[in-house]
């Protein structure tokens, strides 16, 4: 086994055997599932809270046609607005006052609430009033069978989306799924690069403060030591990732099969190329399209391979920078300043990520998915939407080329830095170190 | 033949020159002392020999050929700044370091077991380094240094941090290694240890090699030409006998009248020792006669302060 291999193996064994690794590996997915469940539960709770709205209708047109919608309940008011202003009636969310000229004045409806109202509530109330006013106006035209006509012409639309690939094949696409994948994968790379990059830096600082370094570099080259550490920690990250992927596939598959067995069957048949089973309502058709993408082996494989390629490239690029920073300082407190060239591009990536999720082929997303500093995160955000092959090839090539360059530079700083004790170096000094002959 | 030869090595850092045209030869099988005040350039020279850093100019030869990457397997190095991974188990860690020095896992384990048994520390194997005391960790470190049975051993300030008992143990081990054919270089500014175990030295000061050679030769060269005689007899008669012949008497211990008296004599010329001895012999009864040889400490201080 080569020396880099020996060093990498030590790093791997030391870290994987740690209790903290085992605990985070098990706890993190549970925490994430827990957080999601909690979020859904809390959202359900607020939505379930009934909102009672008292209606003061001066026009006499609106109130009779208002119907309870979701958690909003309407009730005619027995008191005047002034009385209720002085004292809040028990359990009342707000007061809706309709002016006499509501048919002609678009500002004729007023909602007074005892707490800040929500966009959702306002939209629901405005929507109802709009529909009532519209139908009142229609009635003025005296059309026969108006109600039946209105019922007949009401048509809900669910847009069916398909993407045409370069070889002319059509695929179901689900922008919801793409959006979610873009966010999750982009964020995952961001988190992994920071977590494991910091681990590299801490490892270097630990070796330096343990004074174990000089003993090691009398047997191996500093560059081998740095690469061994980076590779060892990368394999820790990949191990953790693998455990999580297995967990998600097993747990997710089980959940889907239990709760959405028929939809899974439909999705499978869609993947097989047969027609969508008849008699399925449009709402669940959308879910089926999503599931069909999710269970589409090729699509998932592209995402996973893309993730691994970009994770490795991005991690190696940033980890070598982290190693250089770690080598230059004596303790972690001194790293903040030197970490700026690492944290700023990562933060920028994070903000561009949000843009790229919404406009995956826009110029911002395009350029930032080519620049090696940001490409791992941004390209992962674009990948779920489908990216032209040449862009991926170019972006990966640029990333890996610059990673080689960065490792080379970091190695030069590292070599000098590990023997520098006592003073906090500046960027100027780091540049000088790169030019040292060893 | 020498095992290690350093030829005109120069190493500059940004603000200072650590080594300026330093040359030295380490004879095979010797215990070679590398002396010098702090900051003289000893550690830089040791790092160059260990290939941790490269010289700006000059060459280093091991066994007659220029130092190559695989030579690290032939060198054992105990740095002055020594430490171990605190969270790693002792045995596992020692095996790891041995593997980095080219031993197989099996070979390293077998040799370590022998050494641990020799030092009576087998029960440390599964302990974490953080559970060991500083002295205990030093022992482990010493074993790691010598485990791959290198031809050349380099100890940088080996006795610092050891208690007297362990320092003595270490000294004996170093001499035993020499007797088994290894060559030992050690850097120190502890002169007592130099006199006890070194047979050759090099004194580095302000990046220059200012003094090199075997301990015996150096002391002789820096002899003070002062001799001490112990005798029984008439002191005044002896003084009279010696005056006016180019000998100067340095001390007259007449305040302490005892049977055996001492006298220190300086002679201008080594060749006249016989003459001196016969002069003394003709007057008093000689009990002992010896040259006052300067201690390494004196030579060191004189050399560094530029008196030599």
Identify the structural domains of chain A with CATH numbers, from first to last: 50-149 (3.40.190.10), 174-434 (no CATH)
Residue A31 CB coordination number (10 Å): 11
Test the A interface: residue of B79, B95, B154 with most A CBs within 10 Å? B79
Residue B171 CB coordination number (10 Å): 16
| Secondary structure tally for chain A: helices H, strands E | 17, 6
The interface predicted TM-score of the complex, written ipTM, equals: 0.77
Interface list for B 219-248 with A (CB within 8 A):
none
Kindly give the residue spans of alpha helices, DSSP state H, lying in B77-201.
90-100, 105-118, 134-146, 164-179, 191-197
* Secondary structure E strands in B180-250: 183-188, 200-205, 208-214, 226-232, 247-249
| Cross-chain CB nearest to B50 (options A210, A213, A218) | A218
Tokens 């064994």 correspond to what residue? A13
Min Cα distance A195 → chain B (Å) is 21
Q: Are B36 and B25 in contact (CB under 8 A)?
A: no
> ∠A270-A271-A275 over CA atoms, to 5°?
25
Query: How far is the CA of B235 from the CAs of B225, B242, B250, B262, B284, in angstroms?
Result: 21, 11, 13, 9, 8
Sequence-ordered list of residues with C-beta below 8 angstroms from that of B298, at least 6 positions apart, any chain: none
Kindly give the residue spans of alpha helices, DSSP state H, lying in chain B.
42-49, 90-100, 105-118, 134-146, 164-179, 191-197, 215-221, 235-242, 273-283, 296-305
Sequence-ordered list of residues with C-beta below 8 angstroms from that of B179, at least 6 positions apart, any chain: none
Three-class DSSP category at A360: coil
Min Cα distance B153 → chain A (Å) is 12
Q: Identify all chain B residues contacting A207, using CB atoms and an 8 Å cutoff.
A: 85
Cβ-defined contact of A215 to B52 (cutoff 8 Å): no
CA-nearest residue to B93 within chain A is A10
CA-nearest residue to B155 within chain A is A215
pTM over 0.95: no
User: What does each of the 438 residues of chain A score in pLDDT, given as a tens digit?
Assistant: 588 899 999 999 988 888 888 888 888 888 877 887 787 777 666 556 778 888 888 888 888 888 887 778 888 887 777 888 787 777 788 888 888 888 888 888 888 888 888 888 888 888 888 888 888 888 888 887 877 887 888 887 877 767 676 666 666 566 777 787 788 888 888 888 898 999 999 998 888 888 888 888 888 888 888 999 999 999 999 999 888 888 877 877 777 677 666 666 666 665 555 545 555 555 566 666 666 666 667 777 888 888 889 988 999 899 988 988 888 888 777 787 788 888 888 888 888 888 888 888 888 888 888 888 888 888 888 888 878 888 889 999 999 999 888 888 888 888 888 877 766 777 777 777 777 665
Q: Are B225 and B55 in contact (CB under 8 A)?
A: no
Structural domains in chain B plus CATH codes: 2-220 (3.40.50.300), 225-292 (3.30.70.1150)
Three-class DSSP category at A216: helix
Structure tokens at A44: 């359900």
CA-nearest residue to A214 within chain B is B79
Kindly give the residue spans of alpha helices, DSSP state H, lying in A211-296.
213-217, 222-259, 261-271, 282-294
Q: Which residues pair with B128 in a beta bridge?
A: B89
Q: Identify all chain B residues contacting A212, using CB atoms and an 8 Å cutoff.
A: 83-85
Min Cα distance A11 → chain B (Å) is 11
Q: Which residues pair with B11 in a beta bridge?
A: B19
CB burial readout B7-35, b (16+ within 10 A) else e: bebebeeeeebbbeebebbbeeebbbbbb
């Amino acid at each position: 086994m080569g020396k880099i291999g020996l060093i990498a193996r030590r790093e791997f064994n030391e870290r994987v055997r740690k209790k903290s690794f085992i605990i985070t590996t098990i706890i993190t997915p549970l925490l994430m599932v827990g957080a999601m469940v909690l979020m859904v539960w809390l959202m359900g709770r607020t939505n379930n809270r009934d909102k009672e709205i008292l209606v003061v209708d001066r026009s006499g047109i609106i109130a009779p046609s208002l119907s309870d919608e979701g958690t909003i309940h309407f009730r005619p008011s027995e008191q005047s607005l002034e009385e209720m202003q002085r004292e809040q009636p028990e359990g009342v969310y707000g007061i809706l006052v309709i002016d006499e000229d509501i048919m002609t004045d678009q500002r004729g409806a007023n909602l007074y609430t005892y707490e800040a109202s929500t966009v959702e509530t306002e939209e629901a109330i405005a929507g109802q009033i709009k529909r009532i006013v519209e139908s009142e106006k229609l009635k003025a035209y005296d059309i026969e069978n108006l109600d039946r006509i209105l019922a007949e012409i009401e048509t809900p639309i669910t847009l069916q989306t398909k993407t045409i690939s370069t070889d002319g094949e059509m695929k179901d696409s689900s922008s919801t799924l793409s959006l979610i994948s873009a966010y999750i994968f982009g964020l995952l790379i961001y988190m992994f690069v920071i977590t494991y990059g910091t681990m590299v830096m801490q490892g270097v600082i630990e070796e330096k403060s343990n004074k174990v370094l000089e003993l090691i570099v009398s047997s191996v080259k500093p560059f081998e030591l740095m690469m061994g550490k980076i590779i060892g920690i990368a394999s820790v990250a990949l191990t953790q990732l693998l455990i999580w992927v297995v967990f998600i596939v097993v747990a997710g598959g089980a959940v889907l099969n239990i709760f959405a067995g028929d939809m899974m069957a439909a999705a499978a048949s869609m993947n097989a190329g047969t027609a969508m089973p008849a008699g399925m309502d449009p709402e669940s058709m959308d879910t089926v399209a999503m599931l069909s993408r999710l269970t589409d082996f090729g699509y998932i494989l592209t995402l996973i391979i893309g993730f691994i390629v970009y994770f490795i490239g991005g991690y190696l690029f940033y980890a070598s920078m982290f190693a250089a920073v770690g080598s230059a300082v004596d303790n972690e407190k001194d790293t903040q300043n030197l970490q700026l060239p690492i944290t700023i591009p990562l933060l920028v990536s994070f903000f561009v990520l949000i843009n790229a999720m919404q406009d995956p082929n826009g110029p911002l997303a395009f350029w930032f998915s080519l620049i090696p500093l940001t490409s791992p995160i941004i390209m992962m955000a674009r990948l779920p939407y489908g990216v032209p092959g040449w862009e991926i090839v170019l972006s990966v090539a640029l990333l890996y080329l610059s990673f080689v360059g960065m490792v080379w530079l970091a190695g030069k700083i590292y070599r000098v830095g590990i023997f520098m004790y006592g003073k906090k170096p500046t960027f100027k000094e780091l540049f000088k170190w790169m030019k040292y002959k060893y | 033949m020498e095992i290690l030869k350093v030829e005109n090595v120069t190493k500059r850092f940004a603000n200072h020159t650590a080594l300026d045209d330093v040359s030295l030869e380490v004879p095979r099988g010797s215990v070679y002392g590398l002396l010098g005040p702090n900051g003289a350039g000893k550690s830089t020279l040791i790092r160059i020999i260990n290939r941790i850093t490269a010289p700006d100019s000059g060459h280093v030869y091991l066994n007659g050929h220029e130092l190559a990457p695989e030579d690290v397997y032939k060198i054992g190095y105990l740095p002055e700044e020594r430490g171990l991974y605190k969270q790693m188990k002792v045995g596992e860690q020692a095996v790891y370091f041995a593997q980095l020095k080219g031993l197989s896992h099996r070979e390293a384990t077998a040799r370590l077991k022998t050494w641990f048994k020799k030092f009576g520390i087998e029960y440390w194997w599964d302990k974490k380094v953080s559970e060991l005391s500083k002295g205990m960790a030093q022992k482990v470190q010493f074993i790691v240094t010598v485990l791959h049975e290198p031809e050349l051993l380099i100890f940088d300030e080996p006795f610092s941090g050891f208690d007297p008992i362990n320092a003595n143990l270490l000294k004996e081990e170093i001499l035993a290694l020499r007797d088994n054919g290894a060559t030992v270089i050690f850097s120190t500014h502890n002169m007592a240890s130099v006199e006890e175990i070194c047979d050759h030295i090099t004194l580095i000061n302000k990046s220059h090699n200012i003094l090199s050679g075997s301990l015996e030769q150096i002391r002789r060269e820096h002899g003070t030409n002062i001799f001490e005689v112990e005798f029984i007899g008439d002191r005044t008669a002896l003084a009279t006998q010696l005056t006016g012949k180019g000998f100067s008497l340095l001390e007259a211990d007449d305040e302490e009248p005892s049977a055996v008296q001492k006298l220190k004599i300086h002679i201008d010329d080594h060749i006249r020792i016989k003459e001196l001895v016969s002069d003394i012999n003709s007057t008093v009864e000689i009990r002992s006669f010896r040259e006052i040889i300067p201690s390494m400490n004196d030579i060191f201080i004189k050399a560094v302060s530029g008196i030599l």
